Structure 1
Amino acid sequence: MPGVRKMILSHVMSGLCGKMNRVKHLDGDVMETPLRRCLNTFDMTLLGVGHMIGAGIYVLTGAVAKDVAGPGIVISFLIAGFTSFLAALCYAEFGTRCPKAGSAYVYTYISIGEFWAFIIGWNIILEHMIGAASVARAWSGYVDSLLDHAISNTTVLITGEMHEQLLGRYPDLLAFGVCISYALLLGIGVKGSALVNSIFTIVNLLVILLIITTGFYYATPQNWTRNFLPFGWSGVLAGAATCFYAFVGFDSITTSGEEAREPSVSIPFATIFSMGIVTISYILVSAALTLMVPFSQIHPTAALPDAFAAINHHWLKYMVSVGALCGMTTTLFGSLFSLPRCMYAMASDGLLFEFMSKINPKTKLPLYNLAIGGFLSALLALLFDLEKLVEFMSIGTLLAYTIVSSAVIVLRYRPISPPSIPLTPGTEDSSPETESCSPVSDKSNDTASAMILAGHLRTNYSWLTPVFGKCEPGGAVTGAVILFICASSTFCITFHFSKSILHPEAWWTILLNVFLLMIIFLCVFVMVAHQQNTTGLRFQVPMVPYIPCLSIFFNIELMIHLSVLTWIRFIVWMIIGMLVYFLYGIHHSKESDPATTYSMLMTSSEAGKSQWGATTRTAIKGALMARKHKEAADKKPIIDEEEIVQ
């Protein structure tokens, strides 16, 4: 009997690991979708810009410049923008590979596995929920400050204060109402809400241009020359980790890929354009602010209006307020726009509850998810303070960026077997017709060779065959990526805590850091030594694996600078997510049955005769029959009775 128990346990564990590591299969045309494809490159660019330029530029800039980095905030924004741009390139390549809703969640599901995809999707849900709640709270606080705190004083007078450390000082009814109102506005449809977002974003950009022009006109260079880095380089890095919050939101472009007319063109262009516009805007605004006002005199919460009031330009103060409200409105739009689509993608795969995968036939929107996401975001905005919300936002985003960058490397070195493409011209089955089309055949042969040889050692590195020759194609690169992440994490932790704990002058500390750097460079060398597959990509991340590796390293470095309390909250949220996955998602995943993948019900010869996403009787019958066979197979005993008797 102990042997029987061991066999049963090994069967269960192997099945569990197989379920956690199964990947998403996208069969058929990835352009087929039940959503409405109506967004162009301009709409998606303004969607990304509007999601990123909001509370960060009007609220965050003053606090970081005064208390964290000083005028060095310009370098902080440059570092945070560069780190986000590296991740944005990886998102853009994945967006052209798979133009589906869900962004990093879908990318991870395709390349790495279901368990890690659920972790990413679960954190993206948290990111957008907290993003919407924090911006709604900032929106309410900005209006309250313009009205000389009349709203907060009246609310406290009626409801009293909430004497609880984890909650805000008072329930913010205005922030609650703002979240609900914008969620209702998004329910009118994609094109209508995109038009409203574009108008607010253009107004915001015009106000920012006015701020930059006026700020540089009244600049005082002595504000920089006296003390440019008052808090040192540690302050610059800490400021970069905080300023990273300002760049959260470009993934809304890839999240809307399932509603883009030409995703292979719109996603990369919109991502690059929006990141460039936002990074330049943040750097110029922070430079104008710190040149106008000495960093010690900057108002931490209303920096720009106070700065223009100090130079007797009160009319600019009101213009800044208009831009701030427009900017925070578009940021709130971006979060509430992305949140229901991520929930829809996970529910369509069976990892969240089935009713969340329903699409309204009239608006072509996941209205259930919009209602749930809007209400939960409004509830967070009602009860929690802005500072407590912002602290918890960056960690999930940085983790998502890290895994997406890793997935780009894994997929680039993964071979794909092309169906029935001859590898060499002039085979036995070749006919005179094929011989007359030798240029086309050569091109097909090159494509087939690139697809099959991906993940194998390059010719120049054939001397590594005794070491990596027995590995599966792409397996050595996958192992190198995992080791690179572990070594980078250890190096960043060691470097971060070396000043206070590890004594950087100790010889063993130096030896440890040198050893870790050698492992990091060795991992990159192993990746470079293998062949890539770039066939069929309209947009490619340049300099792979160097740029994705840099993105991974910078993301890990910024995560290390987050507070311990943020990590504790992250662990609690992940425990809740693990309960959802192991009690529901792992048992209802569509990938548990090969005949019921995400696109199986949308792929048939009749798909072209109906609207996108129409399910045909043939596909449904095939899925039901396959499920019946699978259930019958699952009822068979693992061990025969004769083996138990023996």
Structure 2
Amino acid sequence: MNWLRDVGRAVRRKKHVSSTQQPSILVRCLSTADLSFVGIGCMLGSGVYILTGEVAAEMAGPAAIISFLIAGIVALFSALCYTECATRFPETGASYLYAYVSLGELIGFLIGWNAIIIRILAVSFVSRGWSAYFDNVIGARVLNFTMDVLLDGAEWEVPLVSSYPDILAGVVSLSATVLVALGTELSAKTGRVFVLINIATVLMVIAVAFVYADYSHLVKHGGFAPMGYGGIIKGAAAGFAGYSGFEAIAFAAEEAKDPKKGLPISVGLSFVTAILVYMGGAFAITVLADWQNINAASPFVSAFEAVDAKWMSIVIAVGALCSMTGGLIACAYCFARAIFVMGRDGLIPAIFARTSTTSHTPTVATMFGGIISVIASIFVNFVALIEFLSLMIFVEFVIVAMACILMRYNPTRDHCGKERNIEHVVQEQKQRQTCNKELSGEINNDMTYQSDNDQHSTSSSTDVQAPRFASEEITPAEMDKRRPTVTAIIEGHEQSCEYNKDLPAESEVNNHDVANGRSCNRFSASINNESIGELTPLLGSLPPTSSQILCQSEKKPGRLLWSSDNPVKTVLSSLLVFIVSTIVIVWIVSYKMEEIRGDNDVLTFILMVAAMLAVTGCVPLFMLKQYTDEIPFKVPLMPFIPLLSIVSNIILMMRFEPLTWIELGVWTAIGLVVYFVYGIRHSKEAGILPITPNRYTQASKTYS
């Protein structure tokens, strides 16, 4: 069963990321304005010209304005979670990175696996929309040519395959991919131009709408909200998809000039702009025409035709094409970074992490994703995949909200979570120097721990004496027997180790540690008293660090078990209880309310138990200490907002058909195969703590 235990440790290992801005092969060239336009371009895309009509004509009527406002606020909850994580870890990867750091390698891989296909298919989907819109403007000449010349008038009838090959969509997708591969700064500036044209178009639409407005349309046929509260919420659920592009800003964290300031500002600007644009667009079409007469496929054109302002159709066409082009560039940028970061971490072949020496962009990842998007643009029928993509986005948002909560309750400075003063730093500096002397051979490098008659004192503020080293001679044969157990203990506790690239006296640190960005006492700073007890019979007593001594001196009797200094497991358990309970509640409320009204005692009891568990699961989150030191941006009202984000996304997820969940399961199963065949063996995190016969002494002392 050792192999099963090893697999269990592997899927739970976490990525070690520095919270400080680190040098990168990618160029930090994106200003706050660039980040804002990336987010706006991805959030608007084709949504403002299509989604507004669908919500107004089929779901909420004139109350579509309220639907988009609600959807924007709910989406902002998720965006705040992304922003805290992105400013805390200013690297590319977004949801994949945050899941990897907080929930482990397997969850991180699956989220990254989903993120790649979401962005690739998003490029293909928008390319199809671009092609259809352009072809409609020129009188369907591209479609007629394709049908007459390539297909002899016969459409394809194959499941999941388009009725005809959309060559124009493939060309558009390829063009966006090539532009992103040529350089981040170039693609950002180009995208900015298209986004500005789009915003100017929407402003012109709103201004002209005021001229032709008939405000009586807002209260005809059932009033302002003809579908009632249910219609508004249904419209908000559909409108939520229009705001889902904000995560593009998180993907750009590693190329932002000042991510800690630029990311929060750009998220705020993007959301304000997107909410105003969506609400303005919904207002314009509902004051120009009766909501029952709006054409959901081309709402702006049909609305202006109703007031004999057909000349606006040209303006709308230009704005729509520019909006979709900006969205294409942003989505292509995202899938390139999603592929690149997984290749860099070794979970997919490392060739995808190669970058161009001239453009400093991940060209291999970009072109690989681009080729897939081109093929999908030409051949795939997206009608059957829209809900599949939406479901994966909602799952991603739930995981990021969980990651945000977990990282807020996870100590980041030292084992006790106490902010270190200068005396603590000096103490740790001395320990590292001792460790470096051992590694350089200045201290006898054998497996004997001599008794230390000198007292190992801590800072003056603690006045606590450290334990002495135990004397025990361990033979090589005995060490071979003990090594698997020692390795198991070390690897089991390494997940909570602090990743620290700001090493003092860096020139003295062993090359192996510098290369991996860890200090000598990284392991000892994270190991707790229980694990020391496990290691003592095997290696003798290990020298304590200042953080351990401080922890022991500050322990208070009677503290509850779940309020330990490293409460990650407790918080994760609480979140799982809360999520499962919320799923049960939402499912019963959504599909079984009629039975509850019919006095179904069993369902009523289940609903009450689920509600009690949901509330109980939240209790530790309000009682445990939050660690907020050096977090540039903090989600306000923690943990309320992330929990609201989780609940909102679960509510939206419950509306999908069983077939959509089956599609997600199939794609996840394919990802599991890829991970266990390749990723688990090639992960860069697998080499974080090498324990081999020749290096055992060095490793054990390095992390002591």
SS in 2 for 1:187: helix
SS in 2 for 1:23: coil
Q: Confirm or deny that 1:340 pairs with 2:336.
A: yes
Aligned-pair CA distance for 1:562: 2.1
- Structure 2 Cα separation of the partners of residues 28 and 491 of structure 1: 37
Q: Confirm or deny that 1:589 pairs with 2:683.
A: yes
Q: Confirm or deny that 1:259 pairs with 2:255.
A: yes
Query: Given residue 264 of structure 2, which amino acid in structure 1 is its aligned partner?
Result: P
Q: Confirm or deny that 1:541 pairs with 2:537.
A: no
SS in 1 for 2:339: helix
Provide the residue aligned with 1:219 in structure 2.
Answer: 213
TM-score (structure 1 length as normaliser): 0.83
Q: Confirm or deny that 1:148 pairs with 2:147.
A: no
Aligned-pair CA distance for 1:431: 8.7
Change beyond 3 A, Cα 1:516–1:429 = closer
Query: What are the ranges of 5 or more consecutive residues in structure 1 without an aligned counterpart?
Result: 1-8, 433-447, 596-625, 634-646
Q: How does 1:74-473 map to 2 (within 5 A)?
A: 74-160=65-151, 161-226=155-220, 227=222, 228-418=224-414, 421=420, 465-466=559-560, 468=562, 473=567
SS in 2 for 1:39: coil
SS in 2 for 1:342: helix
Query: Given residue 364 of structure 1, which amino acid in structure 2 is its aligned partner?
Result: H
Deviates more, 1:21-30 or 1:359-368: 21-30
SS in 1 for 2:592: helix
Provide the residue aligned with 2:540 in structure 1.
Answer: none
Provide the residue aligned with 2:46 in structure 1.
Answer: 55
Does the aligned pair in 1 maintain the 2:181–2:362 contact within 8 Å? no
Aligned-pair CA distance for 1:452: 8.1
SS in 2 for 1:535: coil
- Structure 2 Cα separation of the partners of residues 410 and 468 of structure 1: 14
Provide the residue aligned with 1:609 in structure 2.
Answer: none
Query: Given residue 560 of structure 1, which amino acid in structure 2 is its aligned partner?
Result: M
- CA deviations 1:52-93 (Å, max 9, x no partner) are 112111122212322233223223222321221001001111
Does the aligned pair in 2 maintain the 1:402–1:551 contact within 8 Å? yes
Change beyond 3 A, Cα 1:528–1:429 = closer
Query: Given residue 485 of structure 1, which amino acid in structure 2 is its aligned partner?
Result: I
Q: How does 1:468-479 map to 2 (within 5 A)?
A: 468=562, 473-479=567-573
Deviates more, 1:546-555 or 1:184-193: 184-193
Aligned-pair CA distance for 1:466: 4.8
Does the aligned pair in 2 maintain the 1:417–1:452 contact within 8 Å? no
Change beyond 3 A, Cα 1:521–1:627 = closer
Query: Given residue 420 of structure 2, which amino acid in structure 1 is its aligned partner?
Result: I
Provide the residue aligned with 1:66 in structure 2.
Answer: 57
Aligned-pair CA distance for 1:520: 2.0
Does the aligned pair in 1 maintain the 2:194–2:326 contact within 8 Å? yes
Given candidates 631, 641, 646, the residue that maps to 1:552 is 646
Deviates more, 1:156-165 or 1:553-562: 156-165
Query: Given residue 195 of structure 2, which amino acid in structure 1 is its aligned partner?
Result: T
Does the aligned pair in 2 maintain the 1:238–1:561 contact within 8 Å? no
Change beyond 3 A, Cα 1:158–1:627 = farther
TM-score (structure 2 length as normaliser): 0.76
Deviates more, 1:259-268 or 1:19-28: 19-28
Q: Confirm or deny that 1:527 pairs with 2:526.
A: no
Change beyond 3 A, Cα 1:473–1:60 = closer
Deviates more, 1:224-233 or 1:375-384: 224-233
Q: Confirm or deny that 1:576 pairs with 2:670.
A: yes
- Structure 1 Cα separation of the partners of residues 616 and 214 of structure 2: 48
Does the aligned pair in 2 maintain the 1:119–1:577 contact within 8 Å? yes
Query: Given residue 20 of structure 1, which amino acid in structure 2 is its aligned partner?
Result: V
Change beyond 3 A, Cα 1:479–1:423 = farther
- Structure 2 Cα separation of the partners of residues 511 and 291 of structure 1: 48
Deviates more, 1:19-28 or 1:536-545: 19-28
Does the aligned pair in 2 maintain the 1:35–1:365 contact within 8 Å? yes
Task: Compare relative contact order (CA 8 Å, sep 6+) and give the higher one, 1 or 2.
Answer: 1
- CA deviations 1:494-542 (Å, max 9, x no partner) are 1111246665653443443333222222222320111110000111111
SS in 2 for 1:391: helix
SS in 2 for 1:356: helix
SS in 2 for 1:484: helix
Q: Confirm or deny that 1:20 pairs with 2:11.
A: yes
| Structure showing greater Rg | 2
Does the aligned pair in 1 maintain the 2:288–2:306 contact within 8 Å? no
Provide the residue aligned with 2:532 in structure 1.
Answer: none
- Structure 2 Cα separation of the partners of residues 105 and 34 of structure 1: 19
Change beyond 3 A, Cα 1:627–1:257 = farther
Change beyond 3 A, Cα 1:423–1:526 = farther
- CA deviations 1:428-478 (Å, max 9, x no partner) are 77699xxxxxxxxxxxxxxx9xx989xx9xx9xx99945635795343222
Query: Given residue 148 of structure 1, which amino acid in structure 2 is its aligned partner?
Result: G
- Structure 2 Cα separation of the partners of residues 28 and 478 of structure 1: 22
Query: Given residue 13 of structure 1, which amino acid in structure 2 is its aligned partner?
Result: L
Aligned-pair CA distance for 1:17: 1.0
State the identity %. Answer: 30
Provide the residue aligned with 2:657 in structure 1.
Answer: 563
SS in 2 for 1:536: coil
Change beyond 3 A, Cα 1:424–1:180 = closer
* Residue-pair matches, total: 571
Aligned-pair CA distance for 1:110: 0.9
Aligned-pair CA distance for 1:42: 0.3
Query: Given residue 169 of structure 1, which amino acid in structure 2 is its aligned partner?
Result: S
Query: What are the ranges of 5 or more consecutive residues in structure 2 without an aligned counterpart?
Result: 428-456, 462-524, 526-545, 698-704
Aligned-pair CA distance for 1:631: 11
- CA deviations 1:201-244 (Å, max 9, x no partner) are 11110111111222234333332223233334333333323222
Query: Given residue 57 of structure 1, which amino acid in structure 2 is its aligned partner?
Result: V
- CA deviations 1:142-191 (Å, max 9, x no partner) are 01111222211221112221112322221111001111112112222111
- Structure 2 Cα separation of the partners of residues 365 and 506 of structure 1: 60
SS in 1 for 2:182: coil
Q: Confirm or deny that 1:495 pairs with 2:495.
A: no
- Structure 2 Cα separation of the partners of residues 107 and 299 of structure 1: 41
Does the aligned pair in 2 maintain the 1:105–1:121 contact within 8 Å? yes
- Structure 1 Cα separation of the partners of residues 316 and 421 of structure 2: 64
Does the aligned pair in 2 maintain the 1:138–1:386 contact within 8 Å? no
Change beyond 3 A, Cα 1:149–1:475 = same
Query: Given residue 44 of structure 1, which amino acid in structure 2 is its aligned partner?
Result: L
Aligned-pair CA distance for 1:97: 0.7
Does the aligned pair in 2 maintain the 1:416–1:452 contact within 8 Å? no
Change beyond 3 A, Cα 1:628–1:332 = farther
Change beyond 3 A, Cα 1:632–1:201 = same
Aligned-pair CA distance for 1:294: 1.3
Change beyond 3 A, Cα 1:553–1:578 = same
- Structure 2 Cα separation of the partners of residues 85 and 20 of structure 1: 31
Does the aligned pair in 2 maintain the 1:524–1:546 contact within 8 Å? no
Query: Given residue 579 of structure 1, which amino acid in structure 2 is its aligned partner?
Result: V
Aligned-pair CA distance for 1:296: 1.2
SS in 2 for 1:317: helix
Query: Given residue 403 of structure 2, which amino acid in structure 1 is its aligned partner?
Result: A
Change beyond 3 A, Cα 1:374–1:629 = farther
Change beyond 3 A, Cα 1:479–1:627 = closer
